[in-house]
Amino acid sequence: MRRTELSAQREKFFTAMRSGAWEMPPGLKNLGIRPDLWLKEVSYGHTVYEWPNDGQRDIEGARVFGGWIAGFSDHIVSMTMASALDDGEWFTTTELTTRMFRPMKHGLIRIEGRLVSRGRTTGFVEAEWTDEGGRLIAKAAAAKAIRKMEELGADEYLKQQPSGAPGQKE
In a domain, 168, yes or no: no
Q: Along the chain (170 residues), what's the average pLDDT of each consecutive run of 10 residues?
A: 80 92 90 95 97 92 90 97 94 97 94 97 98 97 95 69 49
Cα(116)–Cα(45) distance, rounded to whole angstroms? 8
Helix axes 8-19, 66-82, angle to 10 degrees: 140
What's the domain count of the chain?
1
Question: % helix / strand / coil in the chain, to the nearest 5?
Answer: 30, 35, 30
In a domain, 130, yes or no: yes
Return the pLDDT at 61.
77
In a domain, 1, yes or no: no
Segments of the chain assigned E as strands: 39-43, 46-53, 58-59, 63-64, 89-100, 107-118, 122-130, 136-148
In a domain, 12, yes or no: yes
Return the pLDDT at 1.
42
Cα(85)–Cα(93) distance, rounded to whole angstroms? 14
Cα(17)–Cα(13) distance, rounded to whole angstroms? 6
In a domain, 32, yes or no: yes
In a domain, 52, yes or no: yes
In a domain, 55, yes or no: yes
Q: What is the pTM of this model?
A: 0.89
Q: Which CATH number is 27's domain given?
A: 3.10.129.10
In a domain, 39, yes or no: yes
Domain containing residue 69: 8-159
